[in-house]
Amino acid sequence: MAQDRKKVLVLGAGYAGLQTITKLQKQISADEAEVTLINKNDYHYEATWLHEASAGTISYEDLLYPVESVVNKDKVNFVKAEVTKIDRNAKKVETDAGIFDYDILVVSLGFETETFGIKGMKDHAFQIENVLTARKLSRHIEDKFANYASSKQKDDKDLAIIVGGAGFTGVEFLGELTDRIPELCNKYGVEQGKVKITCVEAAPKMLPMFSDELVNHAVSYLEDKGVEFKIGTPIVAANEKGFVVKVNDEEQQLEANTVVWAAGVRGSQLMEESFEGVKRGRIVTKQDLTIEGYDDVFAIGDVSAFIPAGEERPLPTTAQIAMQQGEQTAKNIKNILEGQPTQEFEYVDRGTVCSLGSNDGVGVVYGKDIQGKKAAFMKKVIDTRAVYKLGGVGLAFKKGKF
Ligand code: NAD
């Protein structure tokens, strides 16, 4: 093998990093570059299905597949390790499994929950963040039903669930809850009318990217299934009783034995520690997805803030964008290896769907509003497509939603 092979290091096997790898391994020969993928787990998980595993409508195991099942071992070296430091000047990455140097680096370390420093949130609220949080939350919800059913002195708070935040994550989680609750009531002989699901949202309007008609559909669908919304109501603390909210400048305690914080995400904490000008774990990139001053460092997915040329605001953080960025990064790495200039990233917005359980939803697809069963179907298409894009037809058959 050639001695002067460039070292390409990809950090993170989420949508952005794994898409970079799966595209790159098709475009290069083993002689062209020494490619290493580092990820803290030996599995990739479908982060966009976390709301389902968190509510328990699917198992946490359904989210996973081994990273190595989609990696070509002849071209890519996979290392299970946790990144602890990125030294961009020395071109080195420290991990708990040793130090790796690089010529080209792709930082795709994904998202974490952002609690905005709200008191008690980390200790008292469940989060929808990764496979472990999903497993913990779905089991906790079921444990509370089991406890209610088996106790002589029944605690109504066992059947109370409060969801903080009515963004995509909060609403999709509520949708799954409304699918799961009837099953749990059946299993534990609990009267459904006793279950209380509340969603607390700080902003005056939920899902502001959607038309009023779509928002109204989502709200009435969920309300019909028993969800109560408290809009324009910020959560200011979490404690052992539940959430504390502010209503007309006065604090009120909302009580429940399950409280879920679904009201904010940020890029990996490592971003602030490794780069300058990072806000909430996201760094503004140049149009080719590299970082200002570092033509050999790409930042993609949830750690990047990509502002399309001529616009002012960065794109949101979604799997669709992360995967498109991964695809572009693979092409740009190939260009660098061949001594060609990199190309600008152009985002193609195919649309967004917010599911409301497995049979309903709202969304915009290719610029058109859709709702109901059509949206639920489209969501399954989107979910299956993501599996296919990373793992091909075989994996899509095994893990897809059809
Ligand atoms: P988000 O930041 O988009 O939404 C959080 C919500 O919580 C907001 O409505 C905000 O007003 C509210 N909030 C914030 N602080 C609060 C407080 N103190 N009290 C009460 N409410 C509060 O976060 P998200 O929903 O996790 O989404 C993160 C990103 O992931 C977004 O870019 C989203 O588009 C994307 N996403 C997309 C999908 C999809 O395409 N189906 C699904 C999930 C997430």
Question: How many angstroms does the Cα of residue 203 sit away from the middle of ligand 1?
Answer: 11
The helix (H) or strand (E) run that includes residue 253 is strand 250-255
Tell me, what's the pLDDT at 157? 98
Provide the token pair at 46.
Answer: 């479908």
Residue 312 known to be catalytic: no
For atom 42 of ligand 1, which residue has the closest CA?
A: 168
Q: What is the pLDDT of residue 3?
A: 56
Contact 37, 324 (CB under 8 A): no
pLDDT of residue 212: 97
Q: What atom in ligand 1 is closest to the CA of residue 320?
A: 40
pLDDT tens for 48-71 read 999 999 999 999 999 999 999 999
Atom of ligand 1 lying closest to residue 51 CA: 43
Q: Burial, 393: exposed, middle or buried (Cβ in 10 Å; 0-12, 13-18, 19+)?
A: exposed
CA–CA separation, 343 vs 326, rounded Å?
13
Counting as low any pLDDT under 50, the low residues of the chain are 1
Handedness of CA 118, 123, 126, 131 (dihedral sign): positive
C-alpha to C-alpha distance for 245 and 263, rounded to whole angstroms = 14
CA atoms within 13 A on the CB side of 190: 28
Ligand 1 atom at minimum distance from 379 CA: 41
**Which residues' Cβ are closer than 6 Å to ligand 1?**
48, 164-170, 172, 200-203, 234-235, 262-265, 316-318, 352-354
Integer Cα distance of 226 and 139 in angstroms: 21
Residues 6+ away with beta carbon under 8 Å from 194:
156, 159
pTM recorded for the entire structure: 0.96
Q: What is the pLDDT of residues 319-362, one digit of tens each?
A: 999 999 999 999 999 999 999 999 999 999 999 999 999 999 99
Q: How far is the CA of 224 from the centre of ligand 1 (A)?
A: 22
For residue 205, the CA-to-ligand 1 centroid distance in Å is: 12
Task: Find the 345 Cα to ligand 1 centroid distance in Å.
Answer: 25
Active-site residue, from 32, 34, 52, 172: 172
Which SS3 state, helix, strand or coil, does residue 324 take?
helix
pLDDT for position 4: 78
Q: Is 95 exposed, middle or buried (0-12, 13-18, 19+ CB in 10 A)?
A: middle
Terminal Cα distance for the chain, rounded:
43
Closest C-alpha to ligand 1, atom 29: 317
Amino acid at 74: D
Q: Please give the number of the atom of ligand 1 that sits closest to the Cα of 209.
A: 34
- How many helices and strands in the chain, by DSSP H and E? 9, 26
What's the gap in Å between 177 CA and the centre of ligand 1? 17
Give pLDDT, residue 87.
96
DSSP string, 110-163: -EEE--TT-BTHHHHSEE--SHHHHHHHHHHHHHHHHHHHH-SS--GGGGEEEE
